[in-house]
Structure formats: structure tokens, C-alpha cells
């Protein structure tokens, strides 16, 4: 590998000792630095990250957006490659970013496709669904939002580029872990989001089937066989349960 490009890879983490190592190994050496913001791991996350050459900083958890903004502040480079501890850069994306940064980037922000990988699998399935997020950007121009729930970069009126390489997202260790993560995220949303009660009740009959079809068809989980069917079910189940979490939260607020 040639001289590292002037990019800081920022990673927020907590109890990711089993996954953060590969995340760091795939970027260390070609990015200028890896900065891990740890919010209180009780496993070997810090030890693993430091052993691989990452700079680890403790910062109590303030929410997704604020934590990623803190990571931006701690980076020494203005160009940021933001990853989660369970996201692995592919060789194609690595080569693309290196080539881009050796020239003069024509945009101040670039989207990267984050392709989901089922628990127990080693790579994304055929036609795997993906999220297309801004993850490579110049912090002097755009930054993560302050939202505690939505960790997205506010690009304002900036023109955003698209990178062709992708990231493999090993978002869950097991399918039970997927259910736990979805439930936890819904709990967080109920604290910061409000919906009209009539709208929530109106969605009850349609929420599960509409979400299931969106995941199974539009997000192509049908290519995942039984695992795809179950994944679509888990997402539909979580969104259905979220409606009642919203209703209970607002009922308590009114009481």
C-alpha cells in the first residue's frame, strides 16, 4: 500500500470486540488514521482497536448524531470516512477512495451503498438490499445532524457524488439480535418522535402487511430464501409493535 490518503476513518462503538477488528483491519494503512469513539465497552473493544493501531477515545453516549459529530471533532483530517463497527469496506471501495483522494474530489460528499449481510453469512446475498448513505465527506462543508435517532449527514444544498464500491454490513450476530436491535431503536424513537394518535390507529391494520411487502419485494429479501422471509417478518413485526409503543408513550404523556 502506498502512502495513506488524508482521510480519517471514524467509528463509534460499544461492546464490538468480535466485529470491530475486521472493520479496522480493512482500512488501517490506507487511511491516515482510525478514530474509535467508545461509549463504555465492557468487553475487549478498546483493547482490540488499540492493538490494531486505532486511536480510542471514551465519550459517554449522547445519541447517534451527537456521537458521530464528536467523532468528527476528534479527527485530525477534514475528510471523513464514517463506518460502524460492523461495516467492512470492500477492496473495490478501498481502491476507489484511494484514487479519488489522490486527485481533487469534485464533490464535498459521496454516498456509499451499505449492503446487508444475514447473520452467519460471509457476504451479501444476490441483489442484497442496501442503504445509500453519505459516508465520505468534507466536515468543513457538511456534517452529521444533531439528531439522537437519525445518524445522517446534512448535505444541505451540496451536490453529492456516488461511489460504486460498497460496504458489507454485518448488522446482527443472530436473528434474535436483529429483533433486539429493532426493538431498542423503536424505544429510542418513542422518546423523540410524536405522531397523531388518529394516524397511529389508522395504520394498525396495514402496517404489518405493507412493511412486510416492502422488505420482501422492494428490498429484495425474496432472494434470501427462508432467511429472507424471516428478515422481512422481523422488520414488519418491529414496525407494527412500534405503533403501540408510540400510543403507550403518548398515553403516559397525557396522563
pLDDT for 66 beyond 50? yes
Mean pLDDT value across residues 10-36:
98
pLDDT for 19 beyond 70? yes
Burial bucket for residue 181 (CB in 10 Å: 0-12, 13-18, 19+): middle
Same domain (yes/no): 9, 73: yes
Report the percentage of the chain scoring pLDDT > 70.
Answer: 98
Same domain (yes/no): 121, 199: no
- Which residues span the domain enclosing 100? 5-169
Same domain (yes/no): 68, 187: no
Q: How confident is the model at residue 100 (pLDDT cuts 50, 70, 90)?
A: very high
The backbone torsions φ and ψ at residue 89, rounded to the nearest 5 degrees and listed phi first, read -70, 130
Q: How confident is the model at residue 254 (pLDDT cuts 50, 70, 90)?
A: low
Q: How confident is the model at residue 76 (pLDDT cuts 50, 70, 90)?
A: very high
Report the percentage of the chain scoring pLDDT > 90.
Answer: 80
Same domain (yes/no): 194, 163: no
HEC-encoded secondary structure of the chain: CCCCEEEEEEEEECCCCCCHHHHHHCCECCEEEEEEEECCCCCCHHHHHHHCCCEEEECCCCCHHHHHHHHHHHCCCCEEEEEECCEEECHHHHHHHHHHHHCCCCCCEEEEEEEECCCCCCCCCCCCCEEEEEEEEECCCCEECCCCCCCCEECCCCCCEEEEEEEEECCCCCHHHHHHHHHHHHHHHHHHCCCCHHHHHHHHHHHHHHHHHHHHHHCCHHHHHHHHHHHHHHHHHHHHHHHHHHHHHHHHHHC
Same domain (yes/no): 130, 181: no
Specify the CATH number for the domain of residue 11: 3.90.550.10
- Give pLDDT, residue 172: 84
Same domain (yes/no): 164, 76: yes
Same domain (yes/no): 151, 210: no
- Is there a contact between 159 and 87 (Cβ–Cβ < 8 Å)? no
pLDDT tens, 201-246?
A: 999 999 999 999 999 999 999 999 999 999 999 999 999 999 999 9
Mean pLDDT value across residues 81-88:
97
- Give pLDDT, residue 255: 47
Domain count of the chain?
Answer: 2
Q: How confident is the model at residue 111 (pLDDT cuts 50, 70, 90)?
A: very high
Mean pLDDT value across residues 19-44:
98
Same domain (yes/no): 100, 220: no
Same domain (yes/no): 10, 74: yes
pLDDT for 108 beyond 50? yes
**More confident: 65 or 129:** 65
Looking at 169, 202, 217, the residue that finishes a domain is 169
pLDDT for 249 beyond 90? no
- Give pLDDT, residue 113: 97
Amino acid at each position: 500500500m502506498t502512502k495513506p490518503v488524508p482521510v480519517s476513518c471514524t467509528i463509534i462503538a460499544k461492546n464490538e470486540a468480535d466485529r470491530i477488528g475486521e472493520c479496522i483491519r480493512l482500512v488501517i494503512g490506507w487511511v491516515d488514521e482510525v478514530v474509535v469513539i467508545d461509549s463504555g465497552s465492557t468487553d475487549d473493544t478498546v483493547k482490540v482497536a488499540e492493538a490494531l493501531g486505532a486511536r480510542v477515545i471514551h465519550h459517554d453516549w449522547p445519541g447517534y448524531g451527537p456521537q458521530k459529530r464528536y467523532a468528527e471533532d476528534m479527527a485530525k483530517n477534514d475528510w471523513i470516512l464514517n463506518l460502524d463497527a460492523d461495516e467492512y469496506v470492500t477492496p473495490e471501495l478501498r481502491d476507489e477512495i484511494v484514487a479519488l483522494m489522490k486527485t481533487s474530489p469534485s464533490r464535498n460528499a459521496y454516498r456509499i451503498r451499505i449492503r446487508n449481510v444475514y447473520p452467519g453469512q460471509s457476504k451479501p446475498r444476490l441483489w442484497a438490499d442496501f442503504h445509500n448513505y453519505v459516508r465520505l465527506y468534507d466536515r468543513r462543508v457538511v456534517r452529521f445532524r444533531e439528531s439522537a435517532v437519525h445518524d445522517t449527514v446534512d448535505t444541505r444544498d451540496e451536490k453529492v457524488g456516488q461511489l460504486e464500491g460498497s460496504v458489507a454490513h454485518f448488522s446482527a450476530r443472530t436473528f434474535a439480535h436483529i429483533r433486539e436491535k429493532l426493538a431498542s431503536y423503536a424505544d429510542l424513537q418513542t422518546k423523540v418522535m410524536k405522531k397523531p394518535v388518529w394516524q397511529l390507529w389508522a395504520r394498525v391494520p396495514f402496517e404489518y402487511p405493507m412493511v412486510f411487502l416492502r422488505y420482501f419485494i422492494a428490498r429484495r429479501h425474496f432472494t434470501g430464501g427462508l432467511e429472507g422471509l424471516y428478515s422481512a417478518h422481523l422488520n414488519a413485526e418491529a414496525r407494527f409493535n412500534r405503533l403501540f409503543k408510540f400510543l403507550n408513550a403518548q398515553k403516559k404523556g397525557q396522563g
